[in-house]
Chain A
Amino acid sequence: MKRILLSHGAGGREMTALIDEVFLARYGDPNRVGDDSATVLLGSHRLAFTTDSFVVDPLFFPGGDIGRLAVAGTVNDLLTAAARPLVLSASFIMEEGLEISVLQAIAESMRVTAAEAGVAIVTGDTKVVPKGAADKVFITTAGVGLVLLPGVSGAAARPRDEIILTGSVGDHGTAVLLAREKLLDGEAIMSDAAPLTGLVMNLLEEGCEIHAMRDPTRGGIAAALNEIARQSQVAMEIIEARVPVAPAVAAACEALGLDVFQVANEGKMLIIVAPKDAAKALFIIRRSPYGEAARVIGRVLDAPPGRVTVKTVIGTARLLDPPSGDLLPRIC
């Protein structure tokens, strides 16, 4: 590893190796569990803290834009720690020459999304770099939330837990890719970018025994499930036929040679719940507008640790491997 390659940013094996070797080796917390949000104890409160950068190209795509992504992405990361999102920061790196109207449209979208998510954007920063030193605008958001249910972590999935997916997969990644490459004109594929505050808060308020949550962004549900299986040292089995995929998304993925399980989502959550509460959780999730198509897609098994398998639509079983060397840069 001599230079940064695009595949180091794709959410797969290369990125994990890079983070381990460069950052964690130097300043990683030895007790770290590897979730999307860190949590810190402050007096009697536990806070969740996370940050994320957004470099999506194009800035506006069907179903969303970089501003909506920047808010929803960080909000959803806070939610994975079972935290109520409280405040966000937003920093902008802008390329010389960017139209102010574009920035205004992005800021407006952030306002709307933050209101929907129930968070306030309370601080930020702007930097301008010469033309060519960045592409239009990059946004970094950070967020703080209040943990409502302690212990929810990718490391806390247990055998026999049920795995709920809150809706269809592959929408965001395919929508952005098609918009960028101007492929398959007229296909109605929309990004699912959305903050899931309402959906997750309902679950927490009604006392469901949730063990783990993860928003399957880069690397799709394949990456997210493998992470949880590895962190929790459990196995998982997913039923392919139960994973909702919009027909247009399925067709686009077939045509482009993409594995829809590895394609990014920006408004979905994988929720690992104790078996006794699975039906109740599913019912609550389905009440929320972003969870109408939620399904139990599989369950947690005890062994072999870290292994995720798929029961295919024809009834056979195969490995669900995390993506590697993905070639869909700048999807979020």
Chain B
Amino acid sequence: MKFIDEFRDQALVKDLARRLGALAEGPATIMEVCGTHTMAAARFALKTILPPSVELISGPGCPVCVTAQSDLDAFLALGTEPQVVLVSFGDMLRVPGTHTSLEGLRAQGAAVRVVYSPLDAVELARQTPDKHLGFFGVGFETTMPATALAIQTAAAYGLDNFSVWCVHKTMPAALKALLAGGEARVSGLLCPGHVTTIIGTAAYDFIPAEFGLPCAVTGFEPVDMLLGIESILRQIKEGKACVDNVYTRAVSVPANPRARELLAAVFAPDDASWRGLGVIPGSGVKIRDSYARFDARARFPQVWERLTPPPPSPCRCGEILRGVMRPVECPLFAKGCTPAQPLGPCMVSTEGACAAAYRYER
């Protein structure tokens, strides 16, 4: 705990806030790429100590939030297949699909289990050979290795009753699409340290190289985040743009080779559909043919065929994820949409921008 406390030290924070004030010149809009940054910024009310000209906005970094409505609807539909038990991380449970949510499905009698690790789903599959355990593979580079490991474990056990509905996504491709769209006016990006421990900081090199935008890779403690913001403001002031790694505790700059090998063995790059961003080429993964029997999409093709495209929703999560709207600007925020009655994933997920704003910033 001492380790964490040092990164929350009040005097240090005050000093950093002063330094930011001295560095900030014109207006700067800094995007937190990762949902954990969004939540940490809100929980520590970081925005209240930033210079008035510096604004933090959230990006597409909440994995639950960026899951496309059609993917969620498909997973929910999988739950109506005979013998299928849906397995998911808890964060997804209350996200409204077009007709229901996992929580609603469970209340109607469907089998829905919450796990903290995909390996738990494999264990459930071993314990209940008469059921098929379908795991919702959601998340970025940080959660992908666990899913890959679960698939390899299931293969090692020779299981035939476990599969993954894979909607895993990779961050760099989405960022590239977002920045190339030019819609969000961003002056710099705060990149998550923990993703970088898997993919390495080089994955972000295109941001300064192609878009001329400064990046800082950093952790989730207030001091980490302020150091990251300081680096971005300094780069702006000096007219430079690079990927600055201020998160030196865990990031070994080249990626973690073991995790990469694991990912490469199980997954192949694929297009992915993002809420608010549409289909982005190469921004996702699919399960390799050699593991096809663990691919729920391949095993239950009828689920897709039954689906109709989701009707338009009043929820503005798409714009929030693109960084063109703030939660309080959504007309439904805290009115028609609250954590108790969420209309979109951004109000449900513990990393969602609307949930963060509702819980800590009203």
Contact = CB atoms under 8 A, between A and B. Distances in A.
Nearest to A255: B116
Contacts of A317: 45, 48
Interface stretch (B8-16, B234-242, B321-329): B8-16
Contact of A321 (B9, B342, B360): B360
A181 interface: yes
A313 B103 contact: no
Interface residues of B, number: 39
A3 B44 contact: no
B298 interface: no
A314 B50 CA distance: 13
A254 B4 CA distance: 10
Given A312-B43, A325-B94, 15 more contacts: A5-B103, A181-B116, A256-B116, A257-B350, A259-B43, A313-B8, A314-B44, A315-B10, A315-B14, A316-B44, A317-B48, A318-B45, A321-B359, A321-B360, A324-B340
B90 interface: yes
30 contacts: A3-B104, A4-B107, A14-B340, A17-B340, A183-B116, A250-B1, A257-B91, A257-B350, A259-B43, A312-B44, A313-B8, A314-B8, A314-B10, A314-B49, A314-B222, A315-B14, A316-B49, A317-B45, A318-B43, A319-B359, A319-B361, A319-B362, A321-B359, A321-B362, A324-B339, A325-B339, A325-B348, A327-B90, A327-B93, A327-B114
Contacts of A5: 103-104, 106-107
Interface in B302-354: 338-340, 342, 348, 350
A318 B116 contact: no
Given A314-B8, A314-B222, A316-B46, A3 B108 contact: yes
A186 interface: no
B42 interface: yes
A247 B108 CA distance: 40
A308 to B, nearest CB: 12
B291 interface: no
A319 B362 CA distance: 7
B340 A13 contact: yes
A247 B360 CA distance: 24
A85 interface: no
A7 interface: yes
Given A3-B104, A7-B94, A321 B44 contact: no
Nearest to B359: A321
B108 A318 contact: no
Interface in B83-109: 90-91, 93-94, 103-104, 106-108
A195 interface: no
B358 interface: yes
A45 to B, nearest CB: 40
Interface residues of A, number: 30
A256 B36 CA distance: 12
Given A5-B103, A254-B4, A313 B10 contact: yes
A279 interface: no
A270 to B, nearest CB: 20
Contacts of B13: 314-315
Contacts of A183: 116
A89 B300 CA distance: 52
A7 B44 contact: no
A312 B13 CA distance: 12
B340 A325 contact: yes
Interface string A299-312: 00000000000001
Residue among B338, B350, B359 with the highest chain A CB neighbour number at 10 A: B359
Contacts of A316: 44-46, 48-49
Contacts of B43: 259, 312, 318
A247 B42 contact: no
A317 B48 CA distance: 8
A5 B44 CA distance: 31
Interface in B12-39: 13-14
Contacts of B5: 313
A193 B348 CA distance: 30
A317 B49 CA distance: 10
B221 to A, nearest CB: 9
Contacts of B348: 325
A127 B271 CA distance: 56
Nearest to A250: B1
A12 interface: yes
B334 to A, nearest CB: 11
B119 to A, nearest CB: 11
A12 B340 contact: yes
Nearest to A245: B1
